[in-house]
Structure 1
């Protein structure tokens, strides 16, 4: 480890993920893979053992930044799953090439997966549909934009998504595409649901039982949709499925700073008020109609099949980099 410190570019990526300058599960996953690629490129030592320890150290730094989005540890586990192979090598340059290649492979797959989700999911969107979406999901947007480009007339309600207002990004993206979009307060969801045909949201994590962990407010949207008999679709790449939940691990619900909700003056003047800022919530599978993946559309109850088929390698690797986060919520 003494032969190569963590590159500044990697530290910046980790900080950008932690501070939410890089946001969205897919973007976070690609950023983590890119950080590992940079780390491998910048390594200047000659020892395979030092290189492996260095890559593991960088992996732990990355995974510790956001405890809920499983795309992050899954991306890290994908890139580093070749470590056992590398440990039997003698040529450090070849070892570096393997990590770099693995990182690039993940990034390419991630981008193609999002596009494929749009292609598949758009088949469930009908001409004239009114769609409600939440937060800023690349996968959910891909579904809507693909449908629009097929000539389907769609109208979108985008929630503003407090406290970081990711919905503003979503609304601007849709506007640039020429899509009819209305930005609404999060609290207006139940009011407008009577005008909605479909809900399309993304996911940060999907558990083995089909529960969806996504931006806080998603579960309330799903509940309002269930009441109004509106179908709920979750757009998610398969690397957002959590292998750890297969063996009983719970999903960590990230608690962010109260200063994202109120300012310091409010806290100082009202010291008796506790301010909570959970970043995510859990939507039970019974409130979800289907999950749209790059492999096809599945019922939430089939999540375990995706995990068995796609992530046999990841279940053991996941534990190398899992860190204890904030409050644990059982799903």
Structure 2
């Protein structure tokens, strides 16, 4: 017997499970959240951002009537940046580039290839308004004096530079938004860069500059600018007293023991420490001795030393050129040779005015002790094996007897006066006819000699016209340590090999 199902019941039974299934699916969906979306890669994200920016720019362009606001903003930003750059003070490197571009190079200057890396005195700096507004007048005046050799000597130049820095610090005003500890060092760097255009800095000047910058960086931040400037100027005065003036006095006391009565001393050129030493021995210790001053062109610094010592009572001066050095050493029994120094290098070599090595070598060959008087501020940690790598070139025209530098010597003037007197006697009819003929023939020889000398002088003055002729004016040379017996400093007398020890002690103190 078959059962017949009700179609309504069947349909209701089918609807209930479907509803139950949909209800359970909705409940599960509410629990788990929306279905996960596909993650985008970095490349796809960048492209999407580009599209969004492009759409924003297009909308902004349409709103501003076709002008791109980003471009306008960039243009305004660039103009503002340019204005800010023009208002900001130049750094030391930028100022150095500007000065190098402003250099006037003389095309007629002839320098051998070996010395082509050295700057000459003919390279000058054009006074541009930017540089003139930054550089202090005291620095401008000092640069002119140094470039024209009005201020000569390592210690003298260092002292003059520190005095000029005192004027710079006095007139310095810290700009808004900066501090004295940070801005004053850069302001001094501008002055130093211009000071280098006169002549290269000496070792003592470089050591003093490093010391001053270190003192500026150690100023407390809470200190006012006026108090800081007063303290810096007092520190500079103390540095000059200790490292330059008092050091010279101590060196004179140490070195005075080598000078006795009736001693014969050989020296070269001019040195401020040696001048104090000789005056101290003659005036304070009442010693009488002879000084043989050897000098050379073009500066003839020994003339200044001879002029100052000639007025001292117990000193007898002998002035000689370096060409007569061998005869001075042979005829005079020299006891000691005292030399000044521009700097002492770390390998024990003496860096001083050209000709010092020749004097030291000649004295060593004659078994004469060579003593170098040098302050510790002139000690350098550099090592130099020759005088070609680092040196200074002067004007080549100073080495020749051109018309601006030509002067008639005493002997030549006497000879010309005798010729003039004989000429007057001839005009008065004095003497016989044979003597007149003889004098006339002698006069013709003198005229020929004078003409030949004038031709040689003209040829030498036009030396730049000869391509194969070069005249070099090197200002410094190196003296090997084996020619030096000892170095006398304010910390005592020591051999040249002990220079690194003094450098280490000097750095630990400062």
Bigger drift between 50-59 and 28-37 goes to: 50-59
- Please give the secondary structure, in 1, of the residue aligned with 2:371: strand
Displacement after TM superposition at 1:26 (Å): 1.0
| Cα distance in 2 between the residues matched to 1:241 and 1:204 | 9
Equivalent residue pairs, number: 311
Q: Distance in 1 between matches of 2:275 and 2:349?
A: 21
Residue number in structure 1 paired with 2:147? 18
Unaligned runs of 5+ in 2: 1-88, 91-132, 404-460
- TM-score, length basis structure 1: 0.86
Of the three residues 306, 309, 317, the one matched with 1:174 is 309
Once the two structures are overlaid, the 10-residue window that deviates more, 24-33 or 37-46, is 37-46
Larger radius of gyration: 2
SS of match in other structure, 1:163: coil
| 1:198 Cα offset (Å) | 0.9
- Asked if structure 1 preserves the Cα contact closer than 8 Å seen for 2:134 and 2:190, the reply is no
Displacement of 1:290 = 1.1
Which residue is equivalent to 2:171? 42
Deviations 1:7-53 (A, max 9, x none): 21121112212332101111011011112111111213344233231
The answer to whether the Cα contact below 8 Å between 1:132 and 1:198 also exists between their aligned partners in 2 is yes
**1:91, CA displacement in angstroms?**
2.5
Report whether the alignment pairs 1:79 with 2:212.
yes
1:68–1:252 Cα contact (<8 Å) kept: no
Q: Which moved more, 1:94-103 or 1:19-28?
A: 94-103
Map 1:143-292; keep pairs closer than 5 Å: 143-149=277-283, 150-178=285-313, 179-194=315-330, 195=332, 196-245=334-383, 252-262=390-400, 263=402, 265-268=461-464, 270-292=466-488
- Are the aligned partners of 2:381 and 2:500 in contact in 1 as well (CA < 8 Å)? no
CA separation in 1, counterparts of 2:271 and 2:172?
34
Q: Using a 3 Å threshold, how does the CA distance of structure 1 residues 272 and 245 change in structure 2: closer, same or farther? A: closer
Report which stretch shifted further, 79-88 or 155-164.
79-88
8 Å Cα contact 1:140-1:234 kept in structure 2: no
Unaligned runs of 5+ in 1: 315-331
Greater relative contact order structure (CA < 8 Å, 6+ sep): 1
Matching residue of 1:321 = none
Which piece of structure 1 moves more, 210-219 or 43-52?
43-52
**More moved, 233-242 vs 92-101:** 92-101
Q: What is the alpha-carbon distance in structure 2 between the residues aligned to residue 68 and residue 142 of structure 1?
A: 24
The Cα of 1:143 is off from its aligned counterpart by 2.1
Secondary structure at the residue paired with 1:213?
strand
CA–CA separation in structure 1 for the residues paired with 2:152 and 2:163: 15
CA distance in 2, matches of 1:15, 1:311: 32
TM-aligned CA deviation for residue 101 of structure 1: 2.2
- Kept in 2, the 8 Å contact 1:215–1:279? The answer is yes
Task: Give the CA deviation at 1:61.
Answer: 3.2
Paired residues of 1:158 and 1:184 also in contact (CA < 8 A): yes
Q: Distance in 1 between matches of 2:499 and 2:194?
A: 29
How far has the Cα of 1:224 moved from its partner? 0.3
1:139–1:156 CA distance, 2 compared to 1 (3 A): same
Task: Please report how far the alpha carbon of residue 269 of structure 1 lies from its aligned counterpart in structure 2 after TM superposition.
Answer: 5.0
- The 8 Å contact of residues 185 and 213 in structure 2, kept in 1 or not, is answered as no
- CA distance in 2 between counterparts of 1:228 and 1:61 reads 45
Rounded Cα–Cα distance in structure 1 between residues aligned with 2:365 and 2:500: 27
Evaluate the alpha carbon distance shift between residue 200 and residue 289 of structure 1 in structure 2; reply closer, same or farther with a 3 A threshold: same
Specify the SS of the correspondent of 1:126.
coil
Specify the SS of the correspondent of 1:105: helix
2:262 corresponds in structure 1 to 128
User: Paired residue for 1:139?
Assistant: 273
> Which of the pair is proportionally richer in helix?
2
- In 1, Cα distance between the equivalents of 2:377 and 2:150? 21
The Cα of 1:270 is off from its aligned counterpart by 4.3
On the 8 A contact 1:78/1:102 being kept in 2, the answer is no
Report the TM-score when normalising by structure 2: 0.57
